[in-house]
Structure 1
Amino acid sequence: MNLVGTILVYTGLLALLVGAISVLHPLRFLGIASRTFGLIVSLCGVALFLIAINLPASEERIALQRTHLDDFVPAYQFSEFHSIRINAPRQKVFRAIQEVSADEIFLFRTLTWVRRGGRSGPESILNAPSGKPLLDVALRTSFMKLAEEPDREIVLGTLVAAPQGTRLKKDPTPDDFKALHAPGFALAAMNFRLEYAANGETVLTTETRVSATDASVRKKFGAYWRVIYPGSALIRVMWLRAIRHRAELMPR
């Protein structure tokens, strides 16, 4: 449903744009022969966009725990999953995960600039300094390490929504993250997981899950997720490719 929602969001925005242009100058090659028809197309785009961002988000629940990510976010409403095959052993891939910087990830700075609305701000994963391992930037700003199994899996977590005025513990623990079920919160966790493959290669996957603790937060975050999903997915795909490039360049 979330992927369908994203497709409908951008279909609606495209219809809005085409219709708005046609109000000024009908795009006859698209079958829009008049300004009135352009206005109708534009209004249909607005309606489709509003329907899409308000679609309900169903919950998925893990039946059998297989990963550390499953342990921390066994139930969630929003997720994405990406994988890549790397011609390097797990030890080198795990090291590359820890060392890769924002500079090495194609389009990372462009996409994160768009994500933060072009605003400058403090150091964060969306405003990463040059030459610093991106994982380190995440962990010293808004993320915490939930679990790490060397050469196998690492899991990071963060809060993406909280009630106004919330005061959290100064040094929260992974158990605090796992136990947070009060209304008004949205928790996000992402992992990198490595699996052996044939010929000494490694399959690297990354999965992001978001769990909203009540219907109101789920609705608000759902609208946000459907808008940012294409850019978010592209960042993760490029992140995996940067890890592959770094790992495969390491000496054997």
Structure 2
Amino acid sequence: MAGCDHWLPRYHWRTHQDRTVPAPPAAAARAVREVRPGDMYALRPLVFVRSVPARLTSRKKERFLAKEDRVIQGLYEGVGAFPLLDEPEGDLIVGFVGRPWKLRQEWLTLTPEQYREFDEPGHIKGLMAFSATGREGGTALHTETRVYGTDRAAVRRFRPYWLLIEPFSSLIRHDWLAAADRNARSAARP
């Protein structure tokens, strides 16, 4: 994706998923943004399992995605992700910066300008992007995730974490695209 190259041209890890949706690009892009946790099969159990260490070590109650929340809203509130590009009926790119390998994950919330310039040692810098491109028979929905370690120590710390979470992260992206597909089909029915 061209937008990914703009925001994070260098990366150590990358994953991507695709799905064709029988809807126009604008409708498919809206469907991605409208996905709720209740629309997905894998998200809630995986997020719950990942939140257990924080729940056990914190006195305050950790926020868990409610069924009525949008998944993208949960990313912003729960992980500290922030929008880098949001074309309402087009591409969506969110950024994240932090130290997820820690028991109590550390996330920074940055402006797009701060994100582009960020290179503080000991962190990962990543993005998750969605695009909707028209093609015969509908729209190609594409999601891509990239992660960059800001120094060798961050790469060394993140590598085992990535090996552990990547299959589940990819499952969530597949699940998200499938939910967007179902939502787009449902919205197209009279």
Task: Give the TM bin, normalised by the shorter chain.
Answer: 0.7 to 0.9
Runs of 4+ in structure 1 off by over 3 angstroms are: 117-121
Is the contact between residue 27 and residue 184 of structure 2 (CA under 8 Å) also seen in structure 1? yes
Q: Using the alignment, how far apart are the partners of 1:118 and 1:245 within structure 2? A: 33
Q: Specify every segment of 5 or more residues in structure 2 that has no aligned partner in the other structure, as ranges.
A: 56-60
Does the 8 A contact of 1:161 with 1:187 survive in 2? no
Q: Would you say the 8 A contact 2:32–2:176 is kept in 1?
A: no
CA distance in 1, matches of 2:130, 2:71: 13
Pairing of 1:178-189 with structure 2 (within 5 A): 178-189=116-127
Does 2:134 correspond to 1:196?
Answer: yes
Instruction: Name the counterpart of 1:45.
Output: none
Q: Contact 2:17–2:143 (CA<8 Å) still a contact in 1?
A: yes
Equivalents in 1 of 2:120, 2:165: separation in Å? Answer: 25
Q: Is the 8 A contact 2:124 2:149 kept in 1?
A: yes
State the partner residue of 2:175. Answer: 238
Q: Does 1:148 align with 2:86?
A: yes
Query: Deviations 1:95-149 (Å, cap 9, x if unpaired)?
Result: 11111101111121112222234764522xxx31121111122224411100122
1:198 and 1:77 mapped to 2: Cα distance? 34
User: 1:129-144 alignment to 2 at 5 Å?
Assistant: 129-141=66-78, 142-144=80-82
* Equivalent position of 1:108 in the other structure: 43
Gaps of 5+ in 1: 1-65
Q: CA deviation at 1:207?
A: 0.5
Report 1 or 2 for greater relative contact order, CA contacts < 8 Å, sequence distance ≥ 6. 2
TM-score (norm 1): 0.65
1:81 maps to: 16
Higher-strand-fraction structure? 2
User: In the aligned structure 1, how far is the partner of 2:110 from the partner of 2:165?
Assistant: 28
Residue 147 of structure 2 corresponds to 210
Q: Which amino acid aligns with 2:23?
A: A
Q: Is the 8 A contact 2:124 2:150 kept in 1?
A: yes
Q: Kindly tell me: are residues 136 and 86 of structure 1, through their superposed partners in 2, closer, same or farther at Cα, counting changes over 3 Å?
A: same
Which whole-Å CA distance do the structure 1 matches of 2:36 and 2:150 have between them? 33
User: 1:146–1:155: 8 Å Cα contact kept in structure 2?
Assistant: yes
Q: Is the 8 A contact 1:158 1:187 kept in 2?
A: yes
The one of 173, 180, 185 aligned to 1:248: 185
- Pairing 1:229–2:169 present: no
Query: What is aligned with 1:128?
Result: 65
Deviation at 1:84, TM superposition (A): 0.3
Partner SS for 1:88? coil
